Amino acid sequence: MSNILTTDVAQALPRDQATARSQWMLVTCLTLISMLSQIDKNVLVLMLGPIRHDLGVNDVQISFLIGAALAIANIAVGLPAGWLADRFDRRRIVAIGVFVWSAAVASNVMASTFWVLVVARIVVGGAEALAPPASYSLIRDGVGPQRRARAMSVYAMGTMLGTGLSLVMGGPLLDWIQTSGIRAIPVVGDVPPWRMLLFLIGVIGLPMSLLIYANRDPGRHTHDIAKPSTASNSIGNVYRLIVTHRALFAPLLIFAAANAIITFGLSSWIPTMTVRRFHIGIQEIGLAQGGLLLSMGPLGLWLAGLAMDRNRGGRLRNAAMVGCAVSAVLPMLTALLCTSGTLTMFWSVDAAVVLMSWTFMVVTATIVAKAVPPNMVGTAMAIVLVLNGLIGQGGSPTLIAVVGQYVYAGDPQALPLAMAIVFLGAGLVAFTASLLVYRAVKQYDKGEGLG
Protein backbone atom coordinates (compact mmCIF):
# COMPACT_ATOMS: atom_id res chain seq x y z
CA MET A 1 0.00 0.00 0.00
CA SER A 2 1.45 3.37 -0.93
CA ASN A 3 2.21 5.75 1.84
CA ILE A 4 0.94 9.30 1.26
CA LEU A 5 2.01 10.57 4.65
CA THR A 6 4.41 13.49 4.83
CA THR A 7 8.15 13.09 5.08
CA ASP A 8 10.90 15.03 6.76
CA VAL A 9 12.14 16.38 3.41
CA ALA A 10 10.72 19.78 4.40
CA GLN A 11 13.37 20.08 7.08
CA ALA A 12 15.97 20.67 4.37
CA LEU A 13 13.85 23.19 2.48
CA PRO A 14 13.40 26.90 3.25
CA ARG A 15 9.99 27.94 4.53
CA ASP A 16 9.71 30.50 1.69
CA GLN A 17 12.76 32.14 3.25
CA ALA A 18 10.65 33.08 6.24
CA THR A 19 12.67 34.12 9.26
CA ALA A 20 12.12 32.69 12.71
CA ARG A 21 10.85 36.11 13.74
CA SER A 22 8.16 36.22 11.06
CA GLN A 23 7.13 32.67 11.91
CA TRP A 24 6.67 33.54 15.58
CA MET A 25 4.82 36.73 14.64
CA LEU A 26 2.28 34.62 12.73
CA VAL A 27 1.91 32.26 15.69
CA THR A 28 1.53 35.19 18.11
CA CYS A 29 -1.17 36.79 15.97
CA LEU A 30 -3.15 33.55 15.74
CA THR A 31 -2.72 33.02 19.48
CA LEU A 32 -4.13 36.48 20.25
CA ILE A 33 -7.13 35.72 18.06
CA SER A 34 -7.59 32.39 19.86
CA MET A 35 -7.41 34.24 23.18
CA LEU A 36 -10.17 36.60 22.05
CA SER A 37 -12.43 33.70 21.10
CA GLN A 38 -11.93 32.08 24.50
CA ILE A 39 -12.66 35.34 26.34
CA ASP A 40 -15.84 35.79 24.33
CA LYS A 41 -16.85 32.17 24.93
CA ASN A 42 -15.86 31.63 28.57
CA VAL A 43 -16.70 34.90 30.27
CA LEU A 44 -20.32 33.66 30.26
CA VAL A 45 -19.36 30.99 32.83
CA LEU A 46 -18.95 33.74 35.46
CA MET A 47 -22.46 35.00 34.74
CA LEU A 48 -24.37 31.76 35.26
CA GLY A 49 -25.77 32.97 38.59
CA PRO A 50 -27.27 36.22 37.21
CA ILE A 51 -28.46 34.43 34.06
CA ARG A 52 -30.15 31.71 36.10
CA HIS A 53 -31.80 34.40 38.25
CA ASP A 54 -32.85 36.71 35.40
CA LEU A 55 -34.07 34.03 33.01
CA GLY A 56 -35.27 31.37 35.47
CA VAL A 57 -33.35 28.33 34.18
CA ASN A 58 -31.92 25.18 35.82
CA ASP A 59 -28.54 23.39 35.63
CA VAL A 60 -29.47 21.21 32.67
CA GLN A 61 -30.61 24.25 30.66
CA ILE A 62 -27.45 26.11 31.66
CA SER A 63 -25.35 23.13 30.55
CA PHE A 64 -27.03 23.34 27.14
CA LEU A 65 -26.19 27.04 26.93
CA ILE A 66 -22.51 26.63 27.80
CA GLY A 67 -22.00 23.32 26.01
CA ALA A 68 -24.44 21.91 23.48
CA ALA A 69 -25.30 25.28 21.89
CA LEU A 70 -21.66 25.72 20.90
CA ALA A 71 -21.32 22.08 19.87
CA ILE A 72 -24.28 22.37 17.48
CA ALA A 73 -22.51 25.20 15.72
CA ASN A 74 -19.20 23.32 15.67
CA ILE A 75 -20.87 20.35 13.98
CA ALA A 76 -22.57 22.56 11.40
CA VAL A 77 -19.57 24.77 10.58
CA GLY A 78 -16.52 22.71 11.55
CA LEU A 79 -16.09 20.50 8.48
CA PRO A 80 -16.99 23.24 5.96
CA ALA A 81 -14.44 25.45 7.76
CA GLY A 82 -11.75 22.83 7.21
CA TRP A 83 -12.75 22.47 3.55
CA LEU A 84 -12.54 26.26 3.12
CA ALA A 85 -9.15 26.42 4.89
CA ASP A 86 -7.66 23.91 2.45
CA ARG A 87 -8.84 25.88 -0.62
CA PHE A 88 -9.24 29.61 0.02
CA ASP A 89 -7.44 32.55 1.62
CA ARG A 90 -7.01 31.43 5.21
CA ARG A 91 -6.47 34.95 6.50
CA ARG A 92 -9.83 36.04 5.11
CA ILE A 93 -11.54 33.06 6.75
CA VAL A 94 -10.02 33.97 10.12
CA ALA A 95 -10.98 37.65 9.73
CA ILE A 96 -14.60 36.83 8.88
CA GLY A 97 -14.83 34.49 11.87
CA VAL A 98 -13.52 37.12 14.29
CA PHE A 99 -15.89 39.80 13.01
CA VAL A 100 -19.00 37.59 13.10
CA TRP A 101 -18.42 36.10 16.55
CA SER A 102 -17.61 39.52 18.04
CA ALA A 103 -20.83 40.92 16.58
CA ALA A 104 -22.76 37.93 17.93
CA VAL A 105 -21.31 38.40 21.43
CA ALA A 106 -22.32 42.07 21.36
CA SER A 107 -25.83 41.08 20.24
CA ASN A 108 -26.35 39.27 23.56
CA VAL A 109 -27.32 42.66 24.90
CA MET A 110 -30.75 42.07 23.32
CA ALA A 111 -31.19 38.54 24.73
CA SER A 112 -34.31 39.06 26.82
CA THR A 113 -35.16 35.33 26.93
CA PHE A 114 -33.16 32.15 27.40
CA TRP A 115 -33.68 30.93 23.84
CA VAL A 116 -32.56 34.22 22.31
CA LEU A 117 -29.37 33.82 24.34
CA VAL A 118 -29.02 30.28 22.99
CA VAL A 119 -29.37 31.48 19.38
CA ALA A 120 -26.70 34.13 19.91
CA ARG A 121 -24.50 31.48 21.50
CA ILE A 122 -24.92 29.21 18.47
CA VAL A 123 -23.84 32.03 16.14
CA VAL A 124 -20.79 32.67 18.33
CA GLY A 125 -19.86 28.98 18.20
CA GLY A 126 -20.32 28.78 14.45
CA ALA A 127 -18.16 31.81 13.74
CA GLU A 128 -15.47 30.65 16.16
CA ALA A 129 -15.36 27.29 14.36
CA LEU A 130 -14.13 29.08 11.23
CA ALA A 131 -10.78 30.15 12.65
CA PRO A 132 -9.02 27.06 14.12
CA PRO A 133 -8.74 24.90 10.95
CA ALA A 134 -7.34 27.87 9.02
CA SER A 135 -5.01 28.68 11.93
CA TYR A 136 -3.62 25.14 12.16
CA SER A 137 -3.12 25.13 8.39
CA LEU A 138 -1.30 28.48 8.50
CA ILE A 139 1.00 27.21 11.26
CA ARG A 140 1.65 24.00 9.31
CA ASP A 141 2.73 25.97 6.23
CA GLY A 142 4.18 29.04 7.94
CA VAL A 143 6.39 27.46 10.61
CA GLY A 144 9.39 25.21 10.03
CA PRO A 145 9.24 21.61 11.29
CA GLN A 146 12.08 22.17 13.77
CA ARG A 147 9.87 24.48 15.86
CA ARG A 148 6.39 23.34 14.84
CA ALA A 149 5.45 21.51 18.05
CA ARG A 150 6.38 24.59 20.08
CA ALA A 151 4.34 26.73 17.68
CA MET A 152 1.36 24.43 18.22
CA SER A 153 1.95 24.74 21.96
CA VAL A 154 1.95 28.53 21.83
CA TYR A 155 -1.22 28.51 19.74
CA ALA A 156 -2.85 26.17 22.27
CA MET A 157 -1.88 28.67 24.98
CA GLY A 158 -4.47 31.00 23.48
CA THR A 159 -7.19 28.75 24.88
CA MET A 160 -5.79 28.86 28.41
CA LEU A 161 -4.73 32.50 28.35
CA GLY A 162 -8.10 33.61 27.00
CA THR A 163 -9.99 31.49 29.50
CA GLY A 164 -7.72 32.74 32.29
CA LEU A 165 -8.21 36.38 31.34
CA SER A 166 -11.97 35.91 31.16
CA LEU A 167 -11.95 34.52 34.70
CA VAL A 168 -9.50 37.08 36.11
CA MET A 169 -11.04 40.12 34.43
CA GLY A 170 -14.68 39.04 34.16
CA GLY A 171 -15.54 39.49 37.83
CA PRO A 172 -13.85 42.89 38.29
CA LEU A 173 -15.34 44.17 35.03
CA LEU A 174 -18.80 43.04 36.08
CA ASP A 175 -18.34 44.79 39.45
CA TRP A 176 -17.12 47.93 37.71
CA ILE A 177 -20.20 48.01 35.49
CA GLN A 178 -22.45 47.52 38.52
CA THR A 179 -20.80 50.26 40.59
CA SER A 180 -20.36 52.75 37.74
CA GLY A 181 -24.04 52.72 36.97
CA ILE A 182 -23.54 52.03 33.26
CA ARG A 183 -26.89 50.69 32.17
CA ALA A 184 -28.17 52.30 28.99
CA ILE A 185 -27.32 51.49 25.37
CA PRO A 186 -28.73 53.62 22.56
CA VAL A 187 -31.82 52.07 20.94
CA VAL A 188 -31.72 49.07 23.31
CA GLY A 189 -32.24 50.96 26.58
CA ASP A 190 -31.35 49.79 30.10
CA VAL A 191 -29.80 46.33 30.42
CA PRO A 192 -28.49 44.19 33.32
CA PRO A 193 -24.72 44.35 34.02
CA TRP A 194 -23.98 40.91 32.57
CA ARG A 195 -25.51 41.87 29.22
CA MET A 196 -23.60 45.16 29.22
CA LEU A 197 -20.33 43.28 29.79
CA LEU A 198 -21.00 40.95 26.85
CA PHE A 199 -21.82 43.96 24.66
CA LEU A 200 -18.56 45.75 25.52
CA ILE A 201 -16.43 42.63 24.98
CA GLY A 202 -18.05 42.04 21.59
CA VAL A 203 -17.54 45.61 20.42
CA ILE A 204 -13.87 45.57 21.44
CA GLY A 205 -13.32 42.42 19.37
CA LEU A 206 -14.64 43.84 16.09
CA PRO A 207 -11.45 45.69 15.00
CA MET A 208 -9.33 42.64 15.87
CA SER A 209 -10.73 40.97 12.76
CA LEU A 210 -8.05 42.88 10.81
CA LEU A 211 -5.15 41.68 12.96
CA ILE A 212 -4.43 38.62 10.82
CA TYR A 213 -3.51 40.83 7.86
CA ALA A 214 -0.38 41.96 9.70
CA ASN A 215 1.09 38.66 8.40
CA ARG A 216 1.56 37.51 4.83
CA ASP A 217 0.09 34.24 3.63
CA PRO A 218 2.86 31.59 3.74
CA GLY A 219 1.42 29.76 0.73
CA ARG A 220 0.66 26.06 0.32
CA HIS A 221 3.71 23.87 0.77
CA THR A 222 2.67 20.93 -1.34
CA HIS A 223 6.35 20.03 -1.88
CA ASP A 224 6.24 18.46 1.60
CA ILE A 225 4.10 15.62 0.29
CA ALA A 226 5.81 12.38 -0.60
CA LYS A 227 3.33 11.60 -3.41
CA PRO A 228 1.48 14.81 -4.37
CA SER A 229 -0.55 13.12 -7.08
CA THR A 230 -2.34 11.01 -4.48
CA ALA A 231 -2.97 13.87 -2.09
CA SER A 232 -6.08 15.61 -3.39
CA ASN A 233 -7.59 17.69 -0.61
CA SER A 234 -11.21 16.66 -1.10
CA ILE A 235 -13.10 15.63 2.01
CA GLY A 236 -13.50 12.17 0.48
CA ASN A 237 -9.74 11.75 0.16
CA VAL A 238 -9.17 12.96 3.70
CA TYR A 239 -11.71 10.38 4.84
CA ARG A 240 -9.94 7.68 2.83
CA LEU A 241 -6.60 8.72 4.32
CA ILE A 242 -8.03 8.34 7.82
CA VAL A 243 -9.59 4.96 7.00
CA THR A 244 -6.45 3.66 5.30
CA HIS A 245 -4.32 4.62 8.28
CA ARG A 246 -6.96 3.89 10.89
CA ALA A 247 -4.41 2.18 13.13
CA LEU A 248 -3.20 5.71 13.92
CA PHE A 249 -6.15 7.98 13.28
CA ALA A 250 -8.92 5.99 14.99
CA PRO A 251 -7.21 5.93 18.41
CA LEU A 252 -5.93 9.49 17.89
CA LEU A 253 -9.49 10.80 17.40
CA ILE A 254 -10.70 8.80 20.42
CA PHE A 255 -7.77 10.11 22.48
CA ALA A 256 -8.62 13.72 21.62
CA ALA A 257 -12.37 13.34 22.21
CA ALA A 258 -11.95 11.55 25.56
CA ASN A 259 -9.57 14.24 26.80
CA ALA A 260 -11.99 16.90 25.55
CA ILE A 261 -14.64 15.43 27.87
CA ILE A 262 -12.35 16.10 30.81
CA THR A 263 -11.13 19.51 29.73
CA PHE A 264 -14.48 21.00 28.69
CA GLY A 265 -16.22 19.45 31.68
CA LEU A 266 -13.74 21.14 33.99
CA SER A 267 -13.93 24.54 32.33
CA SER A 268 -17.74 24.47 32.33
CA TRP A 269 -18.40 23.38 35.91
CA ILE A 270 -15.37 24.27 38.08
CA PRO A 271 -16.61 27.76 39.07
CA THR A 272 -20.08 26.51 40.01
CA MET A 273 -18.71 23.40 41.75
CA THR A 274 -16.26 25.48 43.79
CA VAL A 275 -18.96 27.89 44.92
CA ARG A 276 -21.17 25.03 46.10
CA ARG A 277 -18.41 23.08 47.84
CA PHE A 278 -16.41 25.85 49.52
CA HIS A 279 -18.94 28.72 49.61
CA ILE A 280 -16.61 31.37 48.24
CA GLY A 281 -17.40 34.20 45.85
CA ILE A 282 -17.32 33.77 42.12
CA GLN A 283 -14.85 36.65 41.77
CA GLU A 284 -12.40 34.99 44.16
CA ILE A 285 -12.73 31.76 42.19
CA GLY A 286 -12.21 33.56 38.91
CA LEU A 287 -9.03 35.23 40.14
CA ALA A 288 -7.55 31.99 41.49
CA GLN A 289 -8.53 29.79 38.54
CA GLY A 290 -7.62 32.47 36.04
CA GLY A 291 -4.23 32.95 37.67
CA LEU A 292 -3.49 29.24 37.28
CA LEU A 293 -4.58 29.27 33.64
CA LEU A 294 -2.34 32.26 32.96
CA SER A 295 0.72 30.71 34.63
CA MET A 296 0.62 26.91 34.92
CA GLY A 297 -1.22 26.41 31.63
CA PRO A 298 1.35 28.08 29.32
CA LEU A 299 4.21 26.47 31.29
CA GLY A 300 2.78 22.99 30.75
CA LEU A 301 2.16 23.57 27.05
CA TRP A 302 5.63 24.99 26.46
CA LEU A 303 7.27 22.05 28.23
CA ALA A 304 5.18 19.66 26.12
CA GLY A 305 6.23 21.47 22.95
CA LEU A 306 9.91 21.27 23.93
CA ALA A 307 9.57 17.55 24.58
CA MET A 308 7.96 16.97 21.20
CA ASP A 309 10.41 19.13 19.24
CA ARG A 310 13.51 17.24 20.36
CA ASN A 311 15.14 14.70 18.04
CA ARG A 312 15.16 16.07 14.50
CA GLY A 313 12.25 18.45 14.61
CA GLY A 314 9.77 16.47 16.64
CA ARG A 315 9.28 12.77 15.97
CA LEU A 316 5.81 11.32 16.21
CA ARG A 317 6.90 9.01 19.00
CA ASN A 318 7.74 11.97 21.23
CA ALA A 319 4.22 13.34 20.84
CA ALA A 320 2.67 9.93 21.50
CA MET A 321 4.78 9.47 24.64
CA VAL A 322 3.61 12.83 25.99
CA GLY A 323 0.02 11.78 25.26
CA CYS A 324 0.46 8.51 27.18
CA ALA A 325 1.99 10.24 30.19
CA VAL A 326 -0.69 12.90 30.45
CA SER A 327 -3.55 10.41 29.93
CA ALA A 328 -2.18 8.23 32.73
CA VAL A 329 -2.02 11.02 35.30
CA LEU A 330 -4.64 13.66 34.45
CA PRO A 331 -7.84 11.63 35.12
CA MET A 332 -6.67 10.69 38.62
CA LEU A 333 -5.78 14.28 39.36
CA THR A 334 -9.16 15.56 38.18
CA ALA A 335 -10.99 13.01 40.36
CA LEU A 336 -8.85 14.08 43.32
CA LEU A 337 -9.59 17.71 42.49
CA CYS A 338 -13.34 17.13 42.59
CA THR A 339 -13.18 15.30 45.94
CA SER A 340 -10.61 17.52 47.69
CA GLY A 341 -11.60 18.14 51.29
CA THR A 342 -9.95 21.53 51.78
CA LEU A 343 -9.61 24.64 49.67
CA THR A 344 -5.80 24.54 49.96
CA MET A 345 -5.69 21.00 48.62
CA PHE A 346 -8.16 21.93 45.90
CA TRP A 347 -6.02 24.75 44.49
CA SER A 348 -2.82 22.69 44.81
CA VAL A 349 -4.27 19.83 42.79
CA ASP A 350 -5.86 22.28 40.37
CA ALA A 351 -2.42 23.72 39.58
CA ALA A 352 -1.23 20.28 38.46
CA VAL A 353 -4.43 19.72 36.47
CA VAL A 354 -4.08 23.01 34.63
CA LEU A 355 -0.44 22.20 33.85
CA MET A 356 -1.55 19.22 31.76
CA SER A 357 -5.16 19.80 30.79
CA TRP A 358 -4.70 21.14 27.23
CA THR A 359 -1.61 19.13 26.31
CA PHE A 360 -3.79 16.66 24.42
CA MET A 361 -4.50 19.22 21.69
CA VAL A 362 -0.80 19.93 21.15
CA VAL A 363 -0.17 16.18 20.89
CA THR A 364 -3.03 15.74 18.43
CA ALA A 365 -2.18 18.78 16.29
CA THR A 366 1.52 17.87 16.14
CA ILE A 367 0.77 14.33 14.98
CA VAL A 368 -1.76 15.54 12.39
CA ALA A 369 0.63 18.21 11.07
CA LYS A 370 3.34 15.60 10.53
CA ALA A 371 1.24 12.63 9.40
CA VAL A 372 -1.17 14.43 7.03
CA PRO A 373 -0.28 16.16 3.73
CA PRO A 374 -0.28 19.94 4.28
CA ASN A 375 -3.15 20.58 1.87
CA MET A 376 -5.33 18.31 4.04
CA VAL A 377 -4.41 19.70 7.46
CA GLY A 378 -7.36 22.12 7.65
CA THR A 379 -9.91 19.39 6.97
CA ALA A 380 -8.17 16.85 9.21
CA MET A 381 -8.03 19.27 12.15
CA ALA A 382 -11.64 20.26 11.49
CA ILE A 383 -12.61 16.62 12.01
CA VAL A 384 -10.74 16.60 15.32
CA LEU A 385 -12.37 19.86 16.42
CA VAL A 386 -15.86 18.75 15.39
CA LEU A 387 -15.53 15.57 17.45
CA ASN A 388 -14.14 17.54 20.37
CA GLY A 389 -17.02 19.99 20.12
CA LEU A 390 -19.66 17.30 19.83
CA ILE A 391 -18.39 14.92 22.51
CA GLY A 392 -16.43 17.26 24.77
CA GLN A 393 -17.88 20.73 24.61
CA GLY A 394 -21.40 19.62 23.77
CA GLY A 395 -21.71 16.35 25.63
CA SER A 396 -19.53 16.67 28.72
CA PRO A 397 -21.32 19.52 30.57
CA THR A 398 -24.71 17.92 29.99
CA LEU A 399 -23.46 14.41 30.86
CA ILE A 400 -22.11 15.71 34.16
CA ALA A 401 -25.35 17.56 34.91
CA VAL A 402 -27.46 14.48 34.10
CA VAL A 403 -25.28 12.15 36.22
CA GLY A 404 -25.44 14.60 39.11
CA GLN A 405 -29.19 15.09 38.84
CA TYR A 406 -30.24 11.48 38.34
CA VAL A 407 -27.47 9.30 39.83
CA TYR A 408 -26.66 11.45 42.86
CA ALA A 409 -30.07 13.08 43.28
CA GLY A 410 -30.37 14.74 46.67
CA ASP A 411 -26.67 14.44 47.52
CA PRO A 412 -25.20 17.88 48.35
CA GLN A 413 -22.00 16.76 46.62
CA ALA A 414 -23.80 15.59 43.48
CA LEU A 415 -21.94 17.88 41.08
CA PRO A 416 -18.34 17.08 42.16
CA LEU A 417 -19.12 13.35 42.40
CA ALA A 418 -20.61 13.36 38.92
CA MET A 419 -17.56 15.20 37.59
CA ALA A 420 -15.18 12.67 39.18
CA ILE A 421 -17.03 9.66 37.74
CA VAL A 422 -17.21 11.13 34.24
CA PHE A 423 -13.55 12.16 34.26
CA LEU A 424 -12.30 8.76 35.43
CA GLY A 425 -14.30 6.99 32.74
CA ALA A 426 -13.09 9.34 30.02
CA GLY A 427 -9.53 9.05 31.31
CA LEU A 428 -9.54 5.27 31.01
CA VAL A 429 -10.63 5.59 27.38
CA ALA A 430 -8.02 8.28 26.68
CA PHE A 431 -5.15 6.25 28.17
CA THR A 432 -6.08 3.11 26.23
CA ALA A 433 -6.27 5.14 23.01
CA SER A 434 -2.90 6.81 23.72
CA LEU A 435 -1.22 3.40 23.98
CA LEU A 436 -2.64 2.45 20.58
CA VAL A 437 -1.41 5.73 19.09
CA TYR A 438 2.07 5.06 20.47
CA ARG A 439 2.11 1.58 18.97
CA ALA A 440 1.12 2.98 15.56
CA VAL A 441 3.67 5.81 15.46
CA LYS A 442 6.54 3.54 16.47
CA GLN A 443 6.18 1.91 13.05
CA TYR A 444 6.27 5.28 11.29
CA ASP A 445 9.33 6.50 13.22
CA LYS A 446 11.12 3.28 12.20
CA GLY A 447 10.35 4.03 8.56
CA GLU A 448 7.81 1.26 8.24
CA GLY A 449 4.88 3.53 7.40
CA LEU A 450 1.46 3.20 8.95
CA GLY A 451 0.23 0.52 6.60
Give pLDDT tens digits for 58-70: 767 777 777 677 7
Whole-Å CA distances, 383 to 24, 162, 167:
26, 23, 29
Q: E strand or H helix at 12, and its extent?
A: none
pLDDT at 411: 77
pLDDT at 431: 96
Contact 129, 389 (CB under 8 A): yes
Instruction: Supply φ then ψ for residue 30, to 5 degrees.
Output: -65, -35
Contact 164, 354 (CB under 8 A): no
| Closest among 208, 327, 260, 250 to 71, alpha carbons compared | 260
pLDDT at 448: 47
DSSP, collapsed to helix, strand or coil, labels residue 13 as coil
Rounded Cα–Cα distance for residues 132 and 138 (Å): 10
Distant-in-sequence, close-in-space partners of 18: CB < 8 Å, separation ≥ 6? 142, 144, 218
Q: Is 6 left (phi over 0), alpha (psi -120 to 50) or beta?
A: beta
Please report the DSSP string for 220-259 in residue order: --GGG-SSGGG----HHHHHHHHHHTHHHHHHHHHHHHHH
Instruction: Record the pTM.
Output: 0.76
| Closest among 273, 271, 303, 276 to 287, alpha carbons compared | 271
Enumerate residue ranges in the chain where pLDDT < 70.
1-18, 59, 67, 187-188, 221-234, 282, 311-315, 444-451
pLDDT at 350: 92
Supply the DSSP symbol for 65.
I
pLDDT at 446: 61
pLDDT at 424: 94
Rounded Cα–Cα distance for residues 95 and 268 (Å): 27
Helix axes 114-128, 48-55, angle to 10 degrees: 140
| Closest among 120, 5, 25 to 72, alpha carbons compared | 120
Give pLDDT tens digits for 18-41: 587 888 999 999 999 999 988 887
User: What is the Cα Rg of the chain in Å?
Assistant: 21
Whole-Å CA distances, 194 to 66, 329, 351:
15, 37, 28
Contact 134, 379 (CB under 8 A): no
Distant-in-sequence, close-in-space partners of 226: CB < 8 Å, separation ≥ 6? 3, 4, 5, 6, 7, 9
Distant-in-sequence, close-in-space partners of 186: CB < 8 Å, separation ≥ 6? none
Contact 11, 224 (CB under 8 A): no
List residues bridging with 189 in a β-sheet: 185
Please say whether the dihedral angle defined by the alpha carbons of residues 39, 42, 46 and 52, taken in this order, is positive or negative: positive
pLDDT at 364: 93
Contact 250, 384 (CB under 8 A): no
Give pLDDT tens digits for 207-233: 988 989 988 888 776 544 334 334 455
Rounded Cα–Cα distance for residues 230 and 321 (Å): 30
pLDDT at 16: 44
Q: 10 Å Cβ neighbour count for 22?
A: 17
Rounded Cα–Cα distance for residues 240 and 74 (Å): 22
Look at the chain and count its residues.
451
Contact 208, 36 (CB under 8 A): yes
What's 8-445's CATH class?
mainly alpha
Burial 390-428 (b: 16+ CB within 10 A, else e): bbbbbbbbbbbbebbbeebeeeeebbbbbbbbbbebbbe
Helix axes 148-180, 131-142, angle to 10 degrees: 140
Rounded Cα–Cα distance for residues 314 and 148 (Å): 8
